[in-house]
Amino acid sequence: MAMTEQRVSYTLDSSLETIDNAEEKATRIATELGFADDEVMQISMAVREGAVNAVLHGNAYAPDKKVTLAFERTGEDLVITIRDQGPGLDLSKIPNPLAPENLLKTSGRGIFLMRSFMDVVEIRPSQTGTELKLIKHVHGPTAGGKEASQ
């Protein structure tokens, strides 16, 4: 795929299939854009976690609510936007999963993983839904992204 500006968007149901679907689309697009294998994995996992949040926590599987997923290749970045139609995420309730008291919690790691894998993560909640923006910078062939291990 040529490195020119381009955008593609999808409107998806609030279902488990949407989560797998979003991940597959992210994997395909990141691969086509020439990201390294480990970066493709990071991007696809971040999109999966974003889709999980939109379907489960945003739209709560409501059949009348949709998830919008968009991929945009700008000059320097892959910009992925995921919007839901839920009540809006309460940013004050996002836990730190690395805090000792949260280590053994069975949930609450999705946003942390997104922040670990992407260069920029922006969360914009509103009364009509939450917009999540995930940005991965396009690196040269030897530059590589953030390492998964820190």
Partner 1 sequence: MSMKVGSRQVDGVVIVDCSGRITLGEGSVILRDTVRELLAKGNKKIVLNLQDVNYIDSSGIGELVSAFTTTKNQGGELKLLNLTKKVNDLLQITKLYTVFDVKDDEAAAVKSFK
Binding partner 1 by CB under 8 A: which of 29, 54, 113, 138?
113
Q: Which residue bears the tokens 């999808």? A: 10
Integer Cα distance of 150 and 135 in angstroms: 20
Alpha carbon of 79 to those of 47, 68, 72, 134: distances in Å?
11, 14, 5, 6
Nearer to partner 1, 2 or 98 (CB): 98
By CB under 8 A, how many residues form the interface with partner 1? 23
Least CB distance from residue 6 to partner 1, whole Å? 28
Alpha helix stretches (DSSP H) within 2-94: 16-32, 37-52
Binding partner 1 by CB under 8 A: which of 4, 92, 106, 127?
106
Q: Does 26 bind partner 1 (CB under 8 A)?
A: no
Integer Cα distance of 29 and 75 in angstroms: 16
* Interaction site with partner 1 (CB under 8 A): 16, 19, 41, 45, 48-49, 52, 56, 97-98, 103-107, 109-110, 112-113, 116, 148-150
